[in-house]
Structure 1
Amino acid sequence: MKIKLITPDPFNAEAWTDVLRVEPAFDVTPIVCALRDVKVIFNGSRPDLVLVETATPQDFEALEALANAHPEIDYVLVGNELSPEFLLRAMRAGVREVLPSPAAPEAVLAALRRQLRKRAPATVLPATHHAEVLALVSCKGGSGATFIAANLAHLLAAGGQRQVALIDMNLQFGDAALFVSSQTPVSNVADVARNINRLDADLLRSSMTEVAPGLWVLAAPDDPAQATDVTPQHVRQIVELAREMFDFVIIDVGRSLSSVTLQALDLADRVYAVLQLTLPFIRDGKRLRNVFRSLDYPAHKIQWIVNRYQKGSQFTIDDLKKTLAINQVITLPNHYEAVAASVNQGVPVERIAPNSTIARSLRELAENIAPPPLGQARTGWLSGLFHGAPQ
């Protein structure tokens, strides 16, 4: 891949060029100059990608003009302006990724390697392939459903041995990407919806962010107003295409029920309803159960997760089963320190506290959904995770 590197900083030019040249697929040509002052960018053959550091509004205007003139080229931007308005403007200009300034050479290398992978034709699996779609819905705000969805997706990806999509359908206030990565997505569900007539595997893949090997996130919009750009038909097209491209599709549905989120629930093979053992959660869980029944969902489609479970609570698992008229409940333990560290750092709990009770329970849940890939051993205490016989 031919790369043109443009920066006014000689130190960055040297450091970035040195680190990029460790990748055999990269052919790097540095230009030490502000983009607005560059007279000749393409001297001979055109690059596949332009990495540019912007410092002024004039630099960004020059980038917009360049991208409009050469839309066939990919652009990665390093800058200190990361407001939602700026990121949206960058995306519309054709920028594939934005890195905060100052950018470490290793971060630049990782970003360009992601672009290299995206330039490879996206793979659509054989027609016989049917990925399992799992939707997580919160019975009440603050249940921890997003934490579970993001960490479950990370575990199912198994370090790149599987391909997993995490789709954030909490369209107004979704932040699933932040639970597993500090990367800033440059595209989201609403952007895909606005380009639905061009939707194919390449467009969907390029709209997603690979936050870990095998784990691709399609983020929710930054602007809550953009939620209205997404319709149930958009959701169907996105999810059905993702089924063909990935081994698992995890959907974070959020709390609100609408025609859009109900479409996501309809498409799911399994729905995990997340609640806690307190009266408000149990009451809303009963309401949600009634919704599922009105939608004629079979009992085996719905799984109930009690998050932050502690023995000795005022309400017991048996109380919950009786109230909801269900036979099986999944419990995830309360481990505040590990979860808080994971959420605050944007790192999966499996990486930050692998021996914690919550990490072990999430591993067991993932293993119940899909056996570990060859070479990975089961954790071996599944009996403690599930309460009751299968429905």
Structure 2
Amino acid sequence: MKPIMRVLLAGRDASQLAEMEKVMVSGTSHILSLRHITNGNSDPLYNLPEMPETLVFCVTSAWEEELRALDERPMARRPPTIVIGPENIAVMRMAMRVGARDYFSFPMPEYDLRNSLNRIAEGLQADAGIHNAKLTAVINAKGGSGASIIAATLAHSLAARIGQRVSLLDLDFQFGHLSSLFDLPPDGGLVDAIVRSENMDAMALEGHMLKHKSGLHILGDTSQQLIVPGDIEEGQLKKLIDVVRSGYDQVIADLPRQIDPVAGVVLESADVILLVVQQSIAHVQDARQMVRYLNTYLGIPPNRMRIVVNRWDKRLDLNVEDIRKSLEIEDLICIPNDFSKVAESANLGTPLLDFAPSSPVSRSIVNLAETLSGKKAEAGQFGLGRVLRKLART
């Protein structure tokens, strides 16, 4: 049985609302209420006694004013929204920028609207479920910034130091190599898991995972065939992400540097996006472009993004404030530069947290793991090192 939710249909144009009401009453089983906006306030949620679970907002020729009014309400205080408006790219872009989940124009595609509403209802049901892992997507703003090492070390920190059940997804279908960082065989089953996702549960998924001694589970691909984005069915990938999230506390997804439908599925689902840059003008310029793409085309607000400055060196001219100001994102994390230890760790196939547990890089990423999980790291090797040094002095 499909989940049912309370949907508010709102707008200024009475004839448009009447047409939409017919479509929604005949095409869905959701509980529908109607609001004809006549009070001069463009906000469709203004002064409502009870907030709906989903809003379908029909905008008019005054779409800019209407969408701006919706945007003035904080995201946390408005439900998932579908916007209906003219077939106009500027309106659609602004709708996505203010957080719309979908955009449709007349004549109304009844089937697509129904599917969109059902996806929202299923998402709300999943959010209300007992277990739904936090999903963190890690992506380079510029090639070679170090996102894969950060994703791997972050996942390892969450498993080994925080003690959470963690899955690391290597979503680079062509050049993924995360298993080698843990000295594990290139034997992943990601593509097979995606294909079988419709009939898979969390227990069956474990059979496709590589297991590290820390308890970390890794899912990547080693197919001998060339896999390109068009080979991956987005609906199946979304289903797989849902299955993974149902079985873990944290999911870390390492993405290649590209914005395509496959990456879009993961980025739109992510609770946090870590955008990895280095300390140069070129990296910051690319990061600014990436932030714009994520915000404009995927509707992801800046408060879901964090900037990770990898190989940070305080002696360089480009400082934290410069980067923060340029990208207009407050949440900025600096990972110190220790290239030789990181490179040696990768070459040996020994996770950085085991190879150099007391290095500034390891400590910084463990701190990031604490922030993401809201839990304190166990002392582990950090604490043991302090004890041994203390004993040596006595």
When the two structures are superposed, what TM-score results if normalisation uses the length of structure 2? 0.60
Q: Does the 8 A contact of 1:307 with 1:331 survive in 2?
A: yes
Unaligned runs of 5+ in 2: 1-127, 384-394
Say whether 1:310 aligns with 2:299: no
Distance in 1 (CA, whole Å) between partners of 2:262 and 2:342 is 29
Residue number in structure 1 paired with 2:206? 205
Say whether 1:330 aligns with 2:333: yes
Residue number in structure 2 paired with 1:5? none
Q: 1:160 to 1:296 in 2, by over 3 A?
A: closer
> How much has 1:307 moved relative to structure 2?
0.3
Residue number in structure 2 paired with 1:340? 343
Distance in 2 (CA, whole Å) between partners of 1:352 and 1:378 is 11
Say whether 1:369 aligns with 2:378: no
- Counterpart among 176, 179, 189 of residue 177 in structure 1: 179
Would you identify which runs of 4 or more consecutive aligned residues in structure 1 move more than 6 Å? 377-380
- Counterpart among 233, 236, 239 of residue 234 in structure 1: 236
The one-letter amino acid paired with 1:167 is: L
Distance in 2 (CA, whole Å) between partners of 1:128 and 1:363 is 27
> How much has 1:200 moved relative to structure 2?
2.2
Residue 226 of structure 2 aligns to a residue in which SS?
helix
Residue number in structure 1 paired with 2:119? none
The one-letter amino acid paired with 1:310 is: D
Distance in 2 (CA, whole Å) between partners of 1:182 and 1:135 is 23
Q: Does the 8 A contact of 2:291 with 2:302 survive in 1?
A: no
Residue 314 of structure 2 aligns to a residue in which SS?
coil
Distance in 1 (CA, whole Å) between partners of 2:315 and 2:161 is 37
- Written as runs of structure 1 = structure 2, the 5 A alignment for 1:115-134 is 127-134=129-136
Residue 179 of structure 2 aligns to a residue in which SS?
helix
Q: Identity of paired residues, percent?
A: 30
Q: Does the 8 A contact of 1:172 with 1:223 survive in 2?
A: no
Residue number in structure 2 paired with 1:149? 151
> How much has 1:159 moved relative to structure 2?
6.0
Deviations 1:273-311 (A, max 9, x none): 000011221111011010122122222210000000001
The one-letter amino acid paired with 1:344 is: N
> How much has 1:160 moved relative to structure 2?
8.7
Residue number in structure 1 paired with 2:42? none
Distance in 1 (CA, whole Å) between partners of 2:377 and 2:153 is 21
Residue number in structure 1 paired with 2:259? 257
Residue number in structure 2 paired with 1:281? 283
Residue number in structure 1 paired with 2:103? none
Distance in 1 (CA, whole Å) between partners of 2:377 and 2:309 is 30
- Written as runs of structure 1 = structure 2, the 5 A alignment for 1:66-215 is 127-158=129-160, 161-179=163-181, 181-215=182-216
Q: 1:354 to 1:239 in 2, by over 3 A?
A: same
The one-letter amino acid paired with 1:166 is: L
Deviations 1:117-155 (A, max 9, x none): xxxxxxxxx941121000001101101000000010001
Q: Does the 8 A contact of 2:275 with 2:307 survive in 1?
A: yes
Residue 226 of structure 1 aligns to a residue in which SS?
coil
Residue 311 of structure 1 aligns to a residue in which SS?
coil
Distance in 1 (CA, whole Å) between partners of 2:235 and 2:276 is 26
Q: Does the 8 A contact of 2:345 with 2:351 survive in 1?
A: yes
Residue number in structure 2 paired with 1:244? 246
Residue 212 of structure 1 aligns to a residue in which SS?
coil
Q: Does the 8 A contact of 1:367 with 1:378 survive in 2?
A: no
> How much has 1:371 moved relative to structure 2?
4.2
**Alignment length (residue pairs):** 254
Q: Does the 8 A contact of 1:364 with 1:379 survive in 2?
A: no
Residue 272 of structure 1 aligns to a residue in which SS?
strand
When the two structures are superposed, what TM-score results if normalisation uses the length of structure 1? 0.61
Deviations 1:350-376 (A, max 9, x none): 111111111111111111112446854
Q: Does the 8 A contact of 1:146 with 1:176 survive in 2?
A: yes
> How much has 1:259 moved relative to structure 2?
0.3
Distance in 2 (CA, whole Å) between partners of 1:374 and 1:293 is 33
Residue 168 of structure 2 aligns to a residue in which SS?
strand
Residue 134 of structure 1 aligns to a residue in which SS?
strand
Distance in 2 (CA, whole Å) between partners of 1:341 and 1:355 is 15
> How much has 1:210 moved relative to structure 2?
0.6
Distance in 2 (CA, whole Å) between partners of 1:233 and 1:289 is 25
The one-letter amino acid paired with 1:326 is: I
